[in-house]
Amino acid sequence: MDVHEIPTPAPVIQWPAFEANLAAMSAARPGTSLRPHVKAHKCTSIAAAQAERGHTAFTCATPGEMLGMIDAGLGDDLLLANETVDPRRLAALAARQDDASITVAIDSDATLAAAALAGIRRCLVDVDVGLPRCGCAPSDAGRLADAARSAGLEVRGVMGYEGHLMMVPEHGDRRRQVSDAMAALAGAHAEVGGDIVSAGGTGTFDMYDGTTVTELQAGSYALMDTQYATLGLPFHHALTILGTVIAVKDGYAVADVGLKALGMDHGNPTIAWEGTAVWFCSDEHVTFGTGELQFTVGEHVQVLPAHVDPTMAMHEIAYVVEGDTVVDEWPIDLRGWS
């Protein structure tokens, strides 16, 4: 199949850039010192490529992602780095514990009780390291770990996601603030015990020397987006949303990549064509200024998403391309919550 035959809008993964991103991260965080986060791509084919690089332990954000990874034979060591109290979903996970290694995050008596009641065997303690979201207070982590062990669960360690620091613009500032957050996590770990200290993301991948962190939960590095690209990381755009120009006007053009095809929480996408400027997105359209450039109705344009995670979740298939050839089609098979 030729790239020009891809129906639009559709996610397109440039194989060379994708491979280079995986290689760069593997060099920095080999083996299980990286626990790739599948929420960034929701695609077991991408996870399999990460596993081939030696990253055989994975991070998930939903029970559905966990089950999909097990079904794909990628259940060697799965961490649900998120809280749930849904008894049906926890029971569905517990039922797979002979096929896979399942660890769930807990951060309160309520989330511990729900996991224990469902028969979950392994947990780690999610610690608040400054992002106002889930995670117990560092000072409460030891008590919660004791309660988990009393309830019969194995406690594998701690996690703390410093998501509020991912986009601190200056590298040195970011590193200093990450160090402070990881000191709080280390304090909690000393009370909790266990082998795992899990943290971080793509924006902080190189900031754990001198900390006790054992593994990185990065996901966006594999495909990237325009927000992470502002940080000057050694990862490159491997994902575009392919569109077709459907209208050409005086000074602007319109392509069929709209806000139902793009995660919009980080703002407008970018047309991967120097001299263009996105004006706005509608449900099924992106209107972009064309300056002196000439476009033709029917031609393809590549649209760079501002946020990769929700963008991937909007599509059913990603097309893997090398040059003008589609070399693979990967189902985005971890979508939804069922």
Nearer Cβ to a second copy (85/326): 85
Q: Cα-flanking dihedrals φ and ψ of residue 216, to 5°?
A: -110, 135
Query: From the CB of 142, what's the least distance to a second copy, in Å?
Result: 18
Q: Which of 283, 288, 275, 280 is nearest to 247 (CA)?
A: 288
Binding site for a second copy (CB under 8 A): 7-10, 39, 61-62, 82-86, 88-89, 107-108, 110-111, 114, 128, 132-135, 163, 244, 246-249, 252, 254, 256, 259-261, 263-265, 279, 281-285, 287, 296-298, 307, 309-310, 313-316, 336-338
Nearer Cβ to a second copy (30/282): 282
Q: What is the DSSP string of 28-58?
A: HS-GGGB--BGGGT--HHHHHHHHHTT--EE
Q: Cα-flanking dihedrals φ and ψ of residue 114, to 5°?
A: -65, -40
Nearer Cβ to a second copy (70/253): 253
Nearer Cβ to a second copy (55/315): 315
Query: From the CB of 110, what's the least distance to a second copy, in Å?
Result: 4
Q: Which of 261, 292, 288 is nearest to 11 (CA)?
A: 261
Q: Cα-flanking dihedrals φ and ψ of residue 336, to 5°?
A: 80, -175
Nearer Cβ to a second copy (29/335): 335
In angstroms, the first-to-last Cα distance of the chain is: 33
Query: From the CB of 244, what's the least distance to a second copy, in Å?
Result: 7
Query: From the CB of 132, what's the least distance to a second copy, in Å?
Result: 5
Residue appearing with tokens 């029971």:
91
Q: Which of 217, 317, 215, 219 is nearest to 261 (CA)?
A: 317
Query: From the CB of 177, what's the least distance to a second copy, in Å?
Result: 18
CB 228 within 8 A of CB 220: yes
Nearer Cβ to a second copy (323/336): 336
Burial of 207 (0-12, 13-18, 19+ CB in 10 A): buried
Query: From the CB of 259, what's the least distance to a second copy, in Å?
Result: 5
Query: From the CB of 23, what's the least distance to a second copy, in Å?
Result: 26
Pairing of strands 154-160, 196-199: parallel
Nearer Cβ to a second copy (83/333): 83
Burial of 294 (0-12, 13-18, 19+ CB in 10 A): exposed
